[in-house]
Amino acid sequence: MVILTTILQRIFYAVMLLIAVLVLNFSMLHLAPGDIADTIAQASGGADADVMEQIRRDYGLDQPFFVQLGQYIGKVLSFDLGHSFFYNQPVTTLILEKVPATLLLVITAQIFALVVGVLLGVFSARNPNGMLSHFVTFVALLGYAAPVFWTGILLLIAFSLNIQLFPSGGMIDVTVEGGFFAQTWDLLKHMVLPVVTLSTIFLALYSRLCRASMMEVLGTDYIRTAKAKGLSENEIIYKHALKNSLSPVVTLAGIQFSAVISGAVLVEAVFSWPGLGSLALQSIIARDTPTILGILFFSALVVIVGNLITDMILRMIDPRVGSKG
Amino acid sequence: MAALLKVENLRIELTTRDGIAPVIDDLSLELNAGETLSFVGESGCGKSMTALAIMGLLPDKVGRVASGTIMFDGEDLAKASDARLREIRGNDISMIFQEPMTSLNPVYTIGEQIAEVLRRHQNMDQAAARSRALELLDAVRIPNPKSRVDDYPHQMSGGQRQRVMIAIALACEPKILIADEPTTALDVTVQAQIFDLLRDLGKETGTAIILITHDMGAVAEMAERMIVMYAGRKAEEGPVDQIIEHPRHPYTKGLISCVPHLVAQLSDDRPELTEVRGIVPSLMDFGRDECLFSSRCERADDKCRSSRPTEMKFKNDQHSACWQAKEL
């Protein structure tokens, strides 16, 4: 019951936060210089004063700011994100078309970074002065220092151009025939480089944090108790120590989730991955306001849902989270 | 009867920044089945180190048994393999610690933490271990065990957590229970309850208890025999009542006069509460051939400062490592 009310409370806060994001996004784009009607007119090859007036009326641009804002929020709450000038399609359709690709990339990269980061962290914490530990430190430093697009381009040159292991871009190869298995294999091959590129920096972060928190946990009294019980080293590490040292890593992963999404924009550009990031880039260049607003809104939604999930996972890991006393 | 545990000429070395220090130097002791033996001494005298050495839990790469034997059931624990030690730990020899607040894993239920040791050593399945855990919670006098078995440590008080630790330690009915200052972190009323519990359960199961403490009052209540340790060496050993009655080592004497209620009335002999003046020598001086207490001892003479006292045995089974033990 307590859990349920907490979840409901969280969801209520999340909706409030989303509305705040909507207001902020809309206001900022409204404040930005330039007239949307101009852009639309320009796209259709120019217009006279009457047509401009017509455009303004059609899109509700002649209304006062607060009326426009109210209408916008009302529409969004009924899942209508507006109509794209540039693509001439409803924004919701546009976004939903691109979402699976981005989510696939973002979630795979996040999980990859977490799993590999945690494993590297655990291994190096078991022997903090060993070769592996120094190697992890080195890789972490490198991963943290290298910009995402640079890593991406280097990987492309190495594993797509010189050693032709992986395709250089896109998500699927339309020429691939065969059943589900062949297509999945093709998708996986396309995913390797973007996922590795996107996850490098986060993998570095998580492994360093996991190493530190694991080392701290291994020095605690309850680990001594576990040893006094005669448990094996693996039981001590993977049962008693790991669950305790995960909390900070999961917390960081939750905070970094938004960074993974913004990183995806760059990775999608480098690997021509057909996701939200590419859509965002094109619509910014085209000054397609409704699409930009829609993408911003959707990213905020994903981040908020991500935080909600993080919170739930933390509760599952550590019973002390959220309990009073 | 042969002793259950027999430690002979144990030397434990600790690697410090300044070099190697013998934190335990030539210590011998015997523990008989079912008895309660107490290690007494101030912080840093090596009580816990001895316990950790018996458990095979000396800090990795820092501490090691340099020489001597720890014979348990005809087996030298100082030379036993890690795997063999893991079989013994928690099963034949178990240990409870000073800090009940942090000694239990915060992310597992107490029921699981008790059941785990049963599954490990007694080959019990999930269900059997759980029902045995319930019995154990009842045995350590936690009210309504059924509703507490799925609680997490943070839902319990310090005293209750120490009871859970005792339940874990006694789960496999060990032959030896080492209690390292089990009540130091608890408040006084709870201390008495924990001691009662340890004494009763020890009697029931026939477990021998090594009680490590610096509380002479607790020793007087709990233990039959005691070993007073100072700076890694044994100062005095013998039956508790004999030693309290007539300490044969100036350090023991000093410790006893620090406790208000051991002697009912303040007499001419002992007009007020006192302290043991001075400080313990530094770790690097532990190996010197002298009485390490001489720097704090009023009776110290040249002999005390130039050679290590040999152990003197008295008729009442009291042993003292003091050159002047006879005159005391």
CB spacing of B168 vs A229 below 8 angstroms: yes
**CA A19/CA A129 separation, integer angstroms:** 50
How many CA atoms does the CB half-sphere of A176 hold within 13 Å? 16
3-state secondary structure of B238: strand
3-state helix, strand and coil shares in percent for chain B, rounded to the nearest 5:
35, 25, 45
Strand partners, B13: B22, B64
Contact B102 A221 (CB under 8 A): yes
Task: Number of A to B CB contacts under 8 A, please give it.
Answer: 73
Greatest Cα pair distance, chain A, in angstroms, is 86
Q: Give the ipTM.
A: 0.88
Q: How many other CB atoms are found less than 10 A from the CB of residue A117? A: 27
Contact between chains at B86 and A325 (C-beta distance less than 8 A): no
Reading the block at residue A278, the tokens are: 């590419």
Question: How far off is chain A from B277, nearest CA to CA, in Å?
Answer: 32
* Strand B319-320, strand B208-213: pairing: unpaired
CB neighbours (10 Å) of residue A221? Answer: 16
Q: Are B258 and B274 a contacting pair, CB within 8 Å?
A: yes
Return mean pLDDT, chain A: 86
**Chain-chain contact of A320 with B103 (C-beta, under 8 angstroms):** no
Q: Which residues pair with B69 in a beta bridge?
A: B8
What average pLDDT does chain B have?
89
State the distance between the two ends of chain B, measured CA to CA, in whole angstroms: 32
**CA B26 centroid distance within chain:** 17
Per-residue model confidence as pLDDT tens digits over B268-310: 555 566 777 788 888 888 888 889 998 888 888 888 998 999 9
Residue A127, chain B, CB below 8 Å: the answer is no
Chosen from A223, A229, A320 to mutate, greatest number of chain B CBs within 10 A:
A229
The Cβ-side half-sphere exposure at A211, using a 13 Å CA radius, reads 24
Q: State the smallest CA–CA distance between residue A319 and chain B in angstroms.
A: 6
Better pLDDT: B111 or A65: B111
Amino acid at the residue A253: A
CB burial of residue B290 (10 Å; 0-12, 13-18, 19+): middle
For A224, which residue in chain B has the nearest alpha carbon? B103
Which residue does chain A place closest to B156, by CA atoms?
A325
Instruction: Write down the pLDDT at residue A325.
Output: 40
pLDDT tens string A20-42: 988 998 888 778 776 677 777 77
| Pairwise CA distance, residues A76 & A92, whole Å | 10
Give the other-Cβ count within 10 Å of A11's Cβ.
Answer: 13
Distance, CA of B306 to CA of B97 (rounded, Å): 38
Task: Report whether B256 contacts B216 (CB < 8 A).
Answer: yes
The size of chain B, in residues, is 328
- Cα separation, A236 vs A114, whole angstroms: 21
pTM (2 d.p.)? 0.83
Residue the block writes with tokens 């908020």:
A304
Residue B58 main-chain phi, psi, to 5 deg:
-60, 145
> In tens digits, what is the pLDDT along chain A, a chain of 325 residues?
567 787 788 888 888 888 898 899 888 877 877 667 777 777 667 677 888 888 778 777 778 888 888 888 888 888 888 888 788 889 889 899 888 999 999 999 999 999 999 999 999 998 888 888 888 888 888 888 888 888 888 988 988 888 888 887 877 777 777 778 888 888 888 899 999 999 988 998 999 999 999 999 999 999 999 999 999 999 999 999 999 999 999 999 998 988 898 888 889 988 888 888 888 888 888 878 888 888 888 888 888 888 888 888 998 888 888 765 4
Question: CA-CA-CA-CA torsion for B246, B248, B251, B252, nearest 10 degrees?
Answer: -40
Measured distance CA(B235)–CA(B280) in Å, rounded: 13
Instruction: Indicate the DSSP class of residue A83.
Output: B
**Residue in A222, A230, A232 closest to B105 by CB:** A222
Torsion of CA A177, A181, A185, A186, to 10 degrees: 20
The CB density around residue A311, as the number of other CB atoms within 10 Å, is 18
**Averaged over B1-15, what is the pLDDT?**
88
**Residue A71: enclosing H or E segment and its boundaries?**
helix A65-77
**Residue B224 is which amino acid?**
E
- Chain A hits for B155, CB-CB cut-off 8 Å, are 323, 325
Contact yes or no for A221 and B103 at CB 8 A:
yes
Taking CB atoms and an 8 Å limit, are B95 and A228 in contact across chains?
yes
Joined together, the tokens standing for residue A251 give: 């917390």
**Chain A: residue whose CA lies nearest to B102:** A221
Q: What is the pLDDT of residue B276?
A: 79
Q: Which of A227, A320, A325 is opposite residue B57, by nearest beta carbon?
A: A227
| Closest Cα in chain A, distance from residue B95 (Å) | 6
Give A240→chain B minimum CA distance, Å. 7
Nearest CA to CA, how far is B198 from chain A (Å)? Answer: 18
Collect all residues of chain A within an 8 Å Cβ-Cβ radius of residue B102.
220-222
- In this prediction, residue B207 carries a pLDDT of 93
From CA B42, how far away is CA B215, in angstroms rounded?
9
The amino acid occupying position B251 is: Y
A222 inside 8 A of chain B by CB? yes
Tell me which residue has tokens 């200052």: B181
Task: Quote the CA–CA distance of A224 and B94 in Å, as a whole number.
Answer: 12
Chain A CB contacts of B89 under 8 Å are 227-230
Q: Are B116 and A231 in contact (CB under 8 A)?
A: yes
Q: CB under 8 Å, gap of 24 or more: what pairs does A92-97 form? A: A92/A294, A94/A279, A94/A291, A94/A294, A95/A276, A95/A279, A95/A291, A95/A294, A95/A295, A95/A298
Residues of A in contact with B88 (CB under 8 A): 230
